[in-house]
Chains A and B, each alone.
Chain A
Amino acid sequence: MQTIPTTCIYCGCGCGLMLHVEEGRVVAASPQINHPLSQGHLCLKGWLAYQFLDHPDRLRRPMIRKGERLVPSSWDQALDLARDELSTLLRESGPASLGVLTSAKASNEENFLLMKLARAGLKTNNVDHVARLCHAPTLAALSSALGSGSMTNPIVSLRKSDMILVAGSNTTEQHPLVAFHILQARKTGAEIVVVDPRRTAMARLADLHLAPLPGTDAAWINGLLRAILDLGLEDRQFIEARTEGFEEARAALDPYTPQMVEQVTNIPADDLVLAASKLGSANRAAFVYAMGITQHYWGTDNVQALANLALATGNVGRDGTGIYPLRGHQNVQGACDMGALPDYYSGYQPVSSSRSRFERAWKTDLPAEIGLTAVEMMDAAQAGRIKGMIISGENPMLSFPDQTQVRAALEELDFLLVVDIFPTETARLANVVLPAASFAEKEGTFTSTERRVQLARGAVSPPGEAWPEWRIWADLLTRFEVDCLYESAAQIMEEIASLTPSYGGISHSRLGTGGLVWPCPNHDHPGTPILHVDSFPIGRARFRPVEYKAPSEKPDEEYPFLLTTGRSLFQFHTGTMTRRVPLLEREVPEPFLDISPPDARQLGLKDGTYISVESRRGRLIARARVTPDVNPGHLFLPIHFLEGPANLLTSRYRDPISGMPALKEAAVRLRRL
């Protein structure tokens, strides 16, 4: 028996896991007692994080397309074919015809190498990943407001808060270990205010729950700030010493009286003022949010409004304060950090200004033109402008909005290379499928939502002929004649550190229990859990006026319900892993639709009735779950299920700033079956 310490694969919490190995099989996972975040706890998914590892569906051999079928091939054959096809497209249609989606499930080293392959090998900045569908608005808004698009404080900092505002986050289900710390803080006196259209468990346990209409976030956040200013509870000193643009932002708040907010959002005016007084009088307030804030037509504005709120109340840069965007994948932060973005290299170094640095390091020319975002790549593919794609560990067939269009786009491609651990719906459309090692079968680092860079260690060997993904990209880089020789993930981290100031002091040998929190500029630096303590990277933080704009799609007579989508505690993302874990699959084995009792009564639905859900884009069948946790007019559907893919229904309207699709704004109608 061996015990191997590593990091959980699921959400962005980055909990410490111990994997227990018997005879070459992982037979259990248990928590790390000394882990700074998880502190000896795990959620159900974490306890079971090993059970998909030896599933017979795991990809074990490279496969190449022969007509309608994918047939096994050798690694050489498959990699040669990928090189040939991609180089032909590069030669004949130019670098703009290629696109790369990296994986928020892959390691930092793997994201970095694939980003390097895109830029140095394929000569394109068309590189992006699933953050486009979760926290692109955060990156856009917080970068411009604070100078860094990441969580400002470590999660345990919440234990020091007097007041925690949780907005658009079903924390107990999506980030159970964050919820754990919030609820522990509550025990020691912190007040919790939850803003969510749904009565989530966190909302039930909160001191105050405000339930706005979906898509009206900018209105209540502005209203909250206005009420705080009216009460004179802003932090004048902080505003004057550390920020700029306050007066313009303040002027724009005029219309957002509690009454106006009530009209727009349905939040009672008194509740809003109560929340404002709680927030304004707190010494240390924290702002926790997730997809409920970002997945909107105006997602960037929503985040900016929250930043305005935090700045005006002086709640940045101290323990117990801060802005906490909760990230959904264990390495979505790392994929961003590694420059899997169309406009940035690693460490958010802009393509516009840092190109020569990377050209020198990589000894090759790099493209100057900013690339396409993930969703734009799908448009370009459908239009025939992108002809070849590499998709690593991502399943856009289920996770991207408007599934019908995604299928059409991927089918339109001349060449698609997919790397994954399971045969996903996306892999079925590929020309070449390469089998990857899972988190328990390779070395590498993951960066959690709190910027904590942690080591994942190989506990067992990969199944069949699967390779760690970094080896695939290193091999392809060589085939594209980019100078590189990597023998281990640790070596790749050396290159990352040398090119990325915020990771400058990070090396595998330094990463013990709990890893290191970036920025960590040099080898003696202990890491920086709390950002913006004395100053902002941009000097002063910037207020920006935010105006509430109506959601992209509103219920009407034809489509009378507003649908929001999300996850369940027991499944993860498109279910490629959790649906293969018997206990998790048993908990939620099929798509369900949360509907309020009055709506159910009116439609004559009972708990468990199958029902057809239809939007302007598609239709699916789900099982009604009648619950008072959603308000009349509002429906909730999880995204995990191929047999009821929520993204058949979702809208492709996009936030004009970040490119985030308005995933939480779809008008639908219901039909009994």
Chain B
Amino acid sequence: MISYLKKADLPDLLQAWADKMDVLAPILEEGQISFTTWKGQPLDLSANALVSPAKIISPREEILFRYIQESGTYRFLRPDQKPRLIFGMRPCDLRALQVLDRIYGAPPPDQAYLDRRRSAVLAVLNCTNPGPGCFCAALGAGPDADEGYDLLFTDLGNGYLVESGSPAGIVLIKNSPDLLPAVSDLADSLLTDKGRVVGLCRDQVISSFPGMSVERIREGMESAEWERLGQICSYCAGCSFVCPVCHCFTIYDRGVPDGQRIRCADSCMTSGFSRLTSGSNPRPSQGDRLRNWYLDKFEYILARTGLAGCVGCGRCSQVCLSPDICLRSFLESLCSREMTTNKFADAGESKGEGKSIRK
């Protein structure tokens, strides 16, 4: 279903949704865009948020269940998830959720994730203003979304093209006929406008790292000096905390005899992540851990889910405390290597083409 929303009507639409559920939208907080419960505040859709809205579904910390001791044995309570609508999620973050769906959904499925996932309606906004470190197009993760959303918004200047991608999305459009009228006769021209807007953005993203692709990255990884990079790493683990795909977690208990079992984001960039109680560590150096992070993103998750474990959002590079080792500078080094060694570049280029253009 295709509809059109006048920009001036967006607050009314959000309000209509907010009457029924928690609406989370990008809002300026201390000069910084953050997905926050919308209560009429002005939105800021000019850039993506540093903390991905995917973290609402796969949070840094959540209660798995409460345990309550009663005469020696235990009773368990799982938290309820209330209905949410996430407005303004970008395609890269949607792609992250698609990767997580496949990981958490693989048997045995992870109930806590599925509960959050199913309680959330995704109103995705096609990207028209990528950041300087974005390379979603190289990974087929953006700048536009082609599936997985409930509603898809595209900024066409004065208003938004609104497309439904699921039964829930159709219901949302039908429930607000005044704000979201059907546009059957205009659909073709609106879709043409969308193609133009998205195409411009795609060109912009591709131009930052021309010819980049998963294959290029994997080739580059083979010659990366992991040990040297590991020595520069500041050990902040920020990359793994902001990555929308990173989902490593640990589980810990809080409270005796009653309490909560909590799952919280872990980081494979810490030495304790893989260390055994005996003290031996399968990934003893920071270089090993850095390499593993790249391998997981560009090989293991790809093999597991069919999708790369990186969506090209650039957040890891934005927070990296040792910017020389961040993914962005790794990509930059690959691009500059192309200039110096043509042979390497040719191989990368020809392979890269097929992957970087998705449709």
B-contacting residues of A (Cβ < 8 Å)?
1-5, 16, 18, 20, 22, 25, 27-28, 30-34, 40-44, 46-47, 51, 54-56, 172, 176-177, 179-180, 183-184, 187, 201, 204-205, 512-513, 569, 582-583, 586-587, 608
Contacts and interface: CB of A to CB of B under 8 A. Distances in A.
Contacts of B24: 1
B50 A42 contact: no
B256 A587 contact: no
B30 A513 contact: yes
B321 A176 contact: yes
B185 to A, nearest CB: 40
B250 interface: yes
11 contacts: A3-B35, A3-B36, A4-B29, A22-B59, A28-B61, A33-B32, A34-B30, A41-B236, A47-B238, A586-B270, A608-B279
B264 A51 contact: yes
A304 B55 CA distance: 50
Interface string B25-39: 001011110111100
B50 A40 contact: yes
A413 B238 CA distance: 46
Given A2-B37, A41-B321, A20 B279 contact: no
Return the 10 tightest CB-CB contacts between A and B, nearest first: A586-B272, A28-B60, A5-B30, A3-B34, A27-B61, A3-B29, A34-B31, A56-B255, A582-B252, A30-B51
Interface in B226-276: 231-232, 234-238, 241-242, 250, 252, 254-256, 259, 264-267, 270-272, 275
Contact of B62 (A27, A179, A184): A27
A641 B242 CA distance: 31
B129 interface: no
A56 B231 contact: no
By DSSP majority rule, is chain A's interface helix, strand, loop, or mixed? mixed
A582 B264 CA distance: 9
Interface string B312-324: 0000001111111
Contact of A1 (B56, B241, B265, B322): B56
Nearest to B269: A44
B64 to A, nearest CB: 13
Nearest to A5: B30
B121 to A, nearest CB: 15
Interface of B: 22, 24, 27, 29-32, 34-37, 50-51, 55-56, 59-62, 231-232, 234-238, 241-242, 250, 252, 254-256, 259, 264-267, 270-272, 275, 279, 318-324
Contacts of A204: 231
Contact of A56 (B22, B250, B254, B267): B254
A42 B252 CA distance: 23
Given A51-B264, A608-B279, A32 B30 contact: yes
Contact of B266 (A42, A583, A608): A583
A42 B242 CA distance: 12
Nearest to A45: B236
Given A56-B256, A176-B321, A569-B235, A30 B50 contact: yes
Nearest to B251: A582
Given A1-B56, A41-B238, A587 B270 contact: yes
Given A40-B319, A47-B237, A27 B279 contact: no
Contacts of A205: 232
Contact of B37 (A1, A18, A25, A569): A1
Contact of A30 (B27, B242, B255, B321): B242
A587 B272 contact: yes
Nearest to A457: B30
Given A27-B62, A31-B50, A34-B31, A42 B236 contact: yes
A205 B324 CA distance: 13
Contact of B32 (A18, A179, A183): A18
Given A1-B24, A44-B236, A32 B264 contact: no
A357 B149 CA distance: 66
Contacts of B241: 28, 30, 47
Contact of B35 (A1, A56, A582): A1
A140 to B, nearest CB: 33
A583 B238 contact: no
A18 B236 contact: no
A5 B32 CA distance: 10
Contacts of B242: 30
Contacts of B31: 33-34, 513
Contacts of B322: 180, 183
Nearest to B320: A41
B35 A27 contact: no
A583 B35 CA distance: 26
A285 B31 CA distance: 33
A339 to B, nearest CB: 30
A132 B154 CA distance: 60
B234 A176 contact: yes
Nearest to B258: A56
Contacts of A28: 51, 55, 59-61, 241, 265
Most B-side CB within 10 Å, residue of A33, A55, A180, A608:
A33
Among B62, B231, B235, B265, max chain A CB count under 10 A is at B235
Nearest to A43: B236
Interface centre among A16, A22, A27, A201 (most CB of B within 10 A): A27
Contacts of B22: 1
A185 to B, nearest CB: 13
A1 B87 CA distance: 13
Contact of B50 (A1, A33, A54, A184): A33
Contacts of B238: 31, 41-42, 47
A56 B261 CA distance: 12
Contacts of B29: 3-5, 18
Nearest to B30: A5
A1 B95 CA distance: 22
A583 to B, nearest CB: 6
Given A1-B36, A27-B59, A42-B238, A18 B254 contact: no
Contacts of A582: 250, 252, 264
A232 B284 CA distance: 49
Contacts of A30: 50-51, 241-242
Contacts of B265: 28
Given A31-B50, A32-B32, A55-B254, A172 B59 contact: no
Contacts of A172: 234
Contacts of B267: 583
Contacts of A46: 236
Nearest to B63: A25
A20 B51 contact: yes
Nearest to B324: A187
Contacts of B236: 41-44, 46-47, 176
A234 to B, nearest CB: 35
Nearest to B61: A27
Contacts of B271: 587
Contact of B321 (A43, A54, A586): A43
B51 A583 contact: no
Contacts of A55: 254
Nearest to B84: A1
A176 B321 CA distance: 8
B19 to A, nearest CB: 18
B316 to A, nearest CB: 12
A93 to B, nearest CB: 42
Contacts of B234: 43, 172, 176, 179-180
Contacts of B256: 56
Given A1-B56, A51-B264, A180-B234, 12 more contacts: A1-B22, A4-B29, A5-B30, A20-B51, A20-B60, A28-B51, A31-B50, A34-B30, A43-B235, A47-B238, A183-B322, A583-B267
Contacts of B37: 1-2
Contacts of B272: 583, 586-587
Contacts of A586: 270, 272, 275
A47 B51 CA distance: 12
A186 to B, nearest CB: 10
Nearest to A513: B30
